[in-house]
């Protein structure tokens, strides 16, 4: 691997304001299959992959017969929000600033290829993005480290030359298991205290604040 530094960005809730769209889509998908889960619990699980999320909300010992249908319902319900997806404050500017400083910018997403097209279009920062991961690149989802490792592979980078940027405790945990330091933002709904407790190296209110604090952050000077 090269020593080119890599900035690995989670997408949903970190760069794009989608966390609550996912929460509503999962809540409604569960309700359609007679699983009633408070939206507050659903929201707290957003950031996990569908397999981990359903185990977390419904218990791993349950009948898994409806899992595929519930996940498909979530995907269809979430797709209704696609036209409304917006970037979080100055998200695209943050990616460009990182690229200008010598970071290889990787989107660490477990979205489907079709959904990733929608997300990248909404973000409108392809000029700063080196590569992206998708659902095809992982067999185990967050908080497992597979997605972070897949993003490292896309960047051709070692963990010590990378920083992961996410918005949930699941992001922080996955990055830690991959031995990559994590910067967190609060735009997914998790607050600074719980993100720091999960192991985040630093926490910012949103992408605009991280951009303003870039010189003082882990993204200030790429670790070559």
Ordered per-residue pLDDT tens for the chain, 224 residues: 557 899 999 999 999 999 999 999 999 999 999 999 999 999 999 999 888 999 999 998 888 899 999 999 999 999 999 999 999 999 999 999 999 999 999 999 989 999 999 999 999 999 999 999 998 898 888 999 999 999 999 999 999 999 999 999 999 999 999 999 999 999 999 999 999 999 999 999 999 999 999 999 999 977 55
Q: 110 near 141, Cβ under 8 Å? A: yes
Q: State how far the Cα of 136 lies from the Cα of 113, in Å rounded to an integer.
A: 8
Sign of CA dihedral 94, 96, 100, 106: positive
Q: In this predicted structure, what is the pLDDT of residue 195?
A: 98
Q: In this predicted structure, what is the pLDDT of residue 139?
A: 85
Domains of the chain: 6-17+86-216 (3.40.50.1000), 19-83 (1.10.150)
Number of residues in the chain = 224
Q: In this predicted structure, what is the pLDDT of residue 4?
A: 82
Q: State how far the Cα of 65 lies from the Cα of 185, in Å rounded to an integer.
A: 36
Q: In this predicted structure, what is the pLDDT of residue 223?
A: 55
DSSP-assigned beta bridge partners for residue 183: 165, 202
Q: In this predicted structure, what is the pLDDT of residue 26?
A: 98
**What kind and span of H or E run contains 183?**
strand 182-185
Strand duo 6-9 + 104-107: pairing: parallel
Q: In this predicted structure, what is the pLDDT of residue 43?
A: 97
Which pTM was predicted? 0.95
Sign of CA dihedral 199, 201, 203, 204: negative
Q: Hunting for tokens 């949903």 — which residue is that? A: 12
Nearest to 83 by CA among 111, 114, 118, 112: 118
């Amino acid at each position: 691997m090269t020593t080119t530094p890599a900035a690995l960005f989670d997408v949903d809730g970190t760069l794009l304001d989608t966390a609550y769209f996912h929460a509503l889509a999962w809540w409604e998908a569960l309700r359609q299959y007679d699983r009633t889960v408070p939206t507050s619990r659903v929201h707290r699980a957003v950031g996990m992959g569908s397999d981990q999320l359903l185990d977390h909300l419904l218990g791993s010992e349950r009948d898994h017969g409806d899992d595929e249908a519930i996940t498909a319902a979530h995907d269809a319900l979430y797709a209704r929000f696609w036209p409304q997806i917006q970037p979080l404050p100055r998200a695209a500017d943050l990616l460009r600033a990182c690229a200008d400083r010598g970071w290889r910018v990787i989107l660490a997403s477990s979205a489907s290829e079709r959904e990733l097209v929608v997300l990248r279009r909404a973000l409108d920062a392809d000029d700063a993005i080196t590569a992206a991961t998708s659902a095809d690149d992982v067999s185990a989802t967050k908080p497992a480290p597979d997605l972070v490792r897949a993003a490292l592979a896309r960047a051709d980078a070692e963990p010590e030359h990378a920083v992961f940027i996410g918005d949930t405790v699941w992001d922080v945990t996955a990055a830690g298991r991959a031995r990559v330091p994590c910067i967190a933002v609060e735009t997914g709904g998790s607050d600074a205290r719980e993100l720091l407790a999960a192991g985040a190296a630093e926490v910012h209110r949103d992408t605009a604040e991280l951009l303003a604090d870039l010189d003082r952050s882990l993204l200030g000077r790429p670790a070559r």
